[in-house]
Amino acid sequence: MPSCRHCGQELIPGKEIEGGFCCAGCRAAFSLIEGLGLDQYYQRRSLDPTQRALVPEDDEAQSLDFSVHAKSYQKDEQVLYLMVEGLHCAACVWLIENVLARKEGVTHARLNMTTRRLELRWKTGLADPNELIHAVAQLGYRLVPYDPKALGDAVSAHERMLLKCMAVAGFAAGNVMLFSVSIWAGNADTMGWATRTFLHWLSALIVLPAVAYSGRPFFTSALEALRVGRTNMDVPISLGVLLATGMSLWETIRAGEHAYFDAAISLLFFLLIGRYLDSRARGRARGAASHLIALGARAVTVLLPDGSRKLLPPGQVPAKSIVLAAPGERIGIDGCVIEGVSDLDASLISGETLPVPAKPGTLVFAGMLNLSAALRLEVTATGEATLLAEIVRLMETAEQGRARYAAIADRVARWYAPVVHLAALLTFLFWTMWVGLAWQPSLMIAVSVLIITCPCALALAVPVVQVVASGRLMRRGILLKSATALERLALADHVLFDKTGTLTLGRADLMPGDWTDKDLAVAVGLAAASRHPLARALARARPDILPEAHVSEMAGLGLECQGVRLGRRAWCGVSDDLADGVGPELWLARPGRAAVRFSFEDAPRLDAETTVSDLKNKNYILELLSGDRKAAVESLARRVGIKNWRSLCLPADKVARLEELKAAGKHPLMVGDGLNDAPALAAAFVSMSPSTAVDVSQTAADVVFQGDRLAPVAETLAVARSASRLVKQNFALALLYNLVTVPLAMSGHVTPLIAAVAMSSSSLVVILNALRLGRRT
């Protein structure tokens, strides 16, 4: 589907704005940036272009030569991975990506909000990476070479800062409450104004520095947003805290009766509690990509030619190097085992829970865990060329995309700031001018409205579910390549399977037959000398037998050695009516002996029958579309339990069937091998593909699943439906929260303290509701 030229969200047919935009606001913003240029764009927002950067031009980080960190991506492209500091919301991501995309020579700019990793690609010789980074630095962001450890350290440092701020605010709130109790008790017994003012000043001496210190997380974020001409949810929070504190200080200076230092610092204390718990909860729901990246950052032990060992980061290990993987060590490179026998935990890559045996010749991938014994590996890929890095890129794409529900939440949040501020102003005017209440308590009611209307729950409704669902599927070896895949999978009602490589394993296996072990040994002796798929399948039955010498291979016929033939029926002198079989076959002919038939089949996946039964029980309509012969397709369909099947289907026939279903208002899911079925996968409403590890990046499907089982199809559909329900529940919770709390706040029944607790609780409820998806089995 076409997407908006400004924000990138998918356009709804019939509701797009002329020019390729989703709304008039996007068209105006795009025209402003495109027509004026960035300098005038910032000047229009009263920003001094020389003061945009968070760090000076001569800052050490900005003076780095980033070209030394660039790597070759393709024959005419280079790629650079950076960490962006100063991200606050999706608007930051959009701005950076669009500024870079408009630079000459840039072919790809993708920034992940979860990991803060920027992937930047450009045509060699057409762009200077230092100039590109300078353009982003002018927007007020700081870029450094990507370091997963630095990302984790930054998150930990932020949480420590929140904890310190919360401790200071809590200490101040407890002490100020003691003075407040004295004032409340004294007012009842006609406390004198001098004593009351003295206690107010003591409260001010405690609260003012505490607010200045503990309010930094909110004040800094709000200030940075206002500097670039926008607002975020910290703006009304900061405004509420500062209004309550400032009004109390004014009343204290003029020896007034009303001061709300206790409310201001308690409000900040409970807001910080909510922010800290929110950060911890988000950490549990943090993108799977960030955890995968951390796995790829472990040092690798390289064996040097002189026998010594050297620890190197994975990205600096040269190809063809020999590395040592110790027992219990997470492998950091892609490679091939050249020495040693062990077991590998490959659950991160394939989703398989059982250990995988490793021996010389076994391919291993970054992220696998060596379990039993030391292995020596020859490096085939490192850094961003590894399978783990490819999985990270797929995960980042799935986590950061703009799905339909996310677009709804963003559009609502876009109107939030002006509506909230207007509601608070009208509330204040109503209580002062209409009801006749004093301006001090009226202001506190307005502050409650500012705090309680914060759309935190709405903003989290979609992203947190998307991240948790992506993480759960990744742990099962299922990778989402499209951000909208979950929403489309939740709507799927038809499941169409390809045969070879999808319902089946895509490889021939020897079947039991009327042959002896001696017959098999003779046949394998010939077959081991050939690369033909059926010969290789036969050789797998007896891997201990070595190939015979002087074996001749006749193209299209078979193998021959000293009068013994293995191959086609006619070439081996067997008449067509001697045997009848559905699957492929090889015949063994020896002088003076009856010919022996070896039959093969492309076996169904082990759980194909149970998966098909599970899908039918969930009311999915199943079909089998295959280009294979009628007998083979009919046999497999009957075996796994699919009633509707079609044989001899060309790619165009599969596409036609999918278009027919879509025209009837259905939502077909196509499950194909990702290479042969690319047209059908692209034509389907949503698509999935089984894939070996090396084929992950080659499929055109929306979802890729690893391993030899078909259960991931049912698992993905179940997770998609659960995610859809949770998103709707989160929207309902956010809506219910606002419908209940906003009228209560405007009517004066909610204090700022209660508003802070309610606002923080709504965010936590939404996050905890989404985390239920990660715990389900």
Residue-wise DSSP of 671-682: E--SSTTHHHHH
Closest Cα to residue 496, out of 724, 606, 659? Answer: 659
Query: pLDDT band at residue 718, thresholds of 50, 70 and 90?
Result: very high
Query: pLDDT band at residue 3, thresholds of 50, 70 and 90?
Result: low
Taking 80 as the threshold, does the pLDDT of residue 48 lie above it? Answer: no
Closest Cα to residue 331, out of 282, 283, 297, 305? Answer: 297
Contact 493, 616 (CB under 8 A): no
Overall average pLDDT of the 691-719 stretch: 73
What pLDDT is stored for residue 165 in this prediction? 92
Taking 60 as the threshold, does the pLDDT of residue 328 lie above it? Answer: yes
Taking 50 as the threshold, does the pLDDT of residue 43 lie above it? Answer: no
Query: pLDDT band at residue 98, thresholds of 50, 70 and 90?
Result: confident
As a whole number of angstroms, the distance between CA 6 and CA 353 comes to: 44
As a whole number of angstroms, the distance between CA 124 and CA 106 comes to: 9
Token pair recorded at residue 156: 């930990």
Token pair recorded at residue 322: 């020999």
Query: pLDDT band at residue 147, thresholds of 50, 70 and 90?
Result: low
Could you tell me what percentage of the chain is helix, strand and coil, using 3-state DSSP and rounding each to the nearest 5? 50, 15, 30
As a whole number of angstroms, the distance between CA 700 and CA 419 comes to: 43
Active site residue 498: yes
pLDDT tens-digit map of 268-321: 887 787 677 666 655 554 444 455 555 555 678 888 888 788 878 777 788 888
Contact 379, 333 (CB under 8 A): yes
Query: pLDDT band at residue 694, thresholds of 50, 70 and 90?
Result: very low
Taking 50 as the threshold, does the pLDDT of residue 613 lie above it? Answer: yes
Describe the crossing of helices 216-227 and 148-188 by its angle, rounded to 10 degrees: 110
Min mean pLDDT across 174-188, 251-265, 504-518 is at 174-188
As a whole number of angstroms, the distance between CA 508 and CA 566 comes to: 17
As a whole number of angstroms, the distance between CA 549 and CA 141 comes to: 68
Closest Cα to residue 167, out of 131, 134, 214? Answer: 214
What pLDDT is stored for residue 214 in this prediction? 92
Closest Cα to residue 285, out of 620, 730, 627, 603? Answer: 730
Contact 525, 545 (CB under 8 A): yes
Overall average pLDDT of the 54-71 stretch: 53
Overall average pLDDT of the 602-615 stretch: 87
Taking 50 as the threshold, does the pLDDT of residue 37 lie above it? Answer: no
With 0-12 / 13-18 / 19 or more C-beta atoms within 10 angstroms meaning exposed / middle / buried, residue 47 is middle
pLDDT tens-digit map of 618-671: 999 999 988 777 877 888 899 889 999 988 777 778 888 988 998 999 999 999
More confident residue, 234 or 633: 633
Closest Cα to residue 84, out of 73, 72, 100, 68? Answer: 100
As a whole number of angstroms, the distance between CA 762 and CA 736 comes to: 10
Catalytic residue among 498, 628, 673, 677: 498
As a whole number of angstroms, the distance between CA 532 and CA 507 comes to: 12
Largest CA distance in the chain: 125
Residue 322, classed as helix, strand or coil, is strand
pLDDT tens-digit map of 153-162: 666 777 888 8
DSSP β-ladder status, 621-625 and 644-646: parallel
Domains along the chain? 28-145 (3.30.70.100), 155-284+406-464+724-775 (no CATH), 292-385 (2.70.150.10), 478-502+605-722 (3.40.50.1000)
Overall average pLDDT of the 260-274 stretch: 76
Closest Cα to residue 177, out of 169, 189, 167, 165? Answer: 169
Contact 127, 73 (CB under 8 A): no
